[in-house]
Amino acid sequence: MAILEVNNLTKNFGSTKVLKGISFSLEEGKVLSIIGSSGSGKTTLLRCINGLETATTGKIAVNDKVVFDSNITDKNELKELKKNQQNIGLVFQQFNLFPQYTALGNVTLAMKLAAKKRPDYKHNKKAILEEIDATAKKFLDKVGLSDKLNNYPCELSGGQQQRVSIARALAMNPQILFFDEPTSALDPELTGEILKTIRQLAEDNMTMVIVTHEMNFAKDVSDEVIFMDDGVIAEHGSPEDVLVNPKNPRTQAFLNTYEK
């Protein structure tokens, strides 16, 4: 069963067409890498699926639930649909950690705010908050940061910050986790720890969509690869097909720039 279905998605910024009809689907537990040159629309695609940007036309479904459909114009209905977008996590290129919270605080904040709406919050406050802390610690442990729980972002290396942001996204229990160039803001020697973390998640069968410029990583972590070019999917297939034996000359040209 497809956990993510994107159907004929387009996005215009004013008169510039950035996405020109994107369709693909992704099975549960699979890892999809999206590659493509700068400006081809990778980030825009991610943002549209996440609801940070509203697509111009098309349809998106997560876990068989529609989260966006340009045929629906009723505002309230659209709002309802957006709730299903909660199932998508996003890891940003620039981490976007909250500077005034510790690593632990970053992971727990959204959960603690959400917990306030629980009917039993007043009675069980202490137990609920402890449970949230325990959950957060579990995820920070998973990304190898159990010794940095009480450090503020400014006290962490770039790689550690990015791992906190991965833990923060995981703690929301997303059905799909998106990464937008998670290593691009890092010094080269720090990319390894992030890639290792993502590999572990892949082993745990986390469904992931990763925009990346790390071709070797894409090759061995992904089940599928999409090459985007100027707002369209120019090639879509297994890592072998797209990265080793590309058929589209544009893909070949793009990969050649990485050979050197």
Partner 1 sequence: MFWTVTESLLKGFGSTLELFALTLIFALPLGLIISFGSMSKIKPINWFVRTFVWIIRGTPLMLQLIIIFYVPGFVGMWAREQQTSNFIIEWLATWKVIDRFAAALISFVINYACYFSEIYRGGIESISKGQYEACHVLGMSKSQAFFHVVLLQVVKRIIPPMSNEIITLVKDTSLARIISVYEIIWSGESFIKSDGLLWPLFYTGVFFLIACGLLTIIFNRIEKKLSYFSV
Ligand X SMILES: Nc1ncnc2c1ncn2[C@@H]1O[C@H](COP(=O)(O)OP(=O)(O)OP(=O)(O)O)[C@@H](O)[C@H]1O
Report in angstroms how near the CB of residue 90 gets to partner 1 at its nearest: 4
Residue 92 partner contact from ligand X, partner 1, Mg ion, none using kind-dependent CB cut-offs of 5 to 8 Å: partner 1
**Which option in ligand X, partner 1, Mg ion, none does residue 38 bind, with CB closer than 5 to 8 A by kind?**
ligand X
**Which residue, judged by CB position, is nearest to Mg ion in the bound state?**
43
Q: How many chain residues are in contact with ligand X, going by CB under 6 A? A: 11
According to CB under 8 A, which one of 13, 27, 29, 52 is a site residue for partner 1? 52
Closest CA to 36 of 215, 185, 238, 217: 215
Restricting to residues 16-55, which ones interact with ligand X according to CB under 6 A? 16, 18, 36, 38-44
DSSP, res 84: G
Cα distances (angstroms) measured from residue 86 to each of 46, 62, 69: 14, 10, 16
* Strand-pair partners of 90: 178
Min CB(8)–ligand X separation in Å = 18
Between 13 and 121, CB nearer to ligand X: 13
Q: How many helices (H) and strands (E) does the chain have?
A: 9, 10
Q: 161 CB contacts (<8 Å, ≥6 apart)?
A: 95, 97, 153
* Residue 167 CB, nearest approach to partner 1 (Å): 12
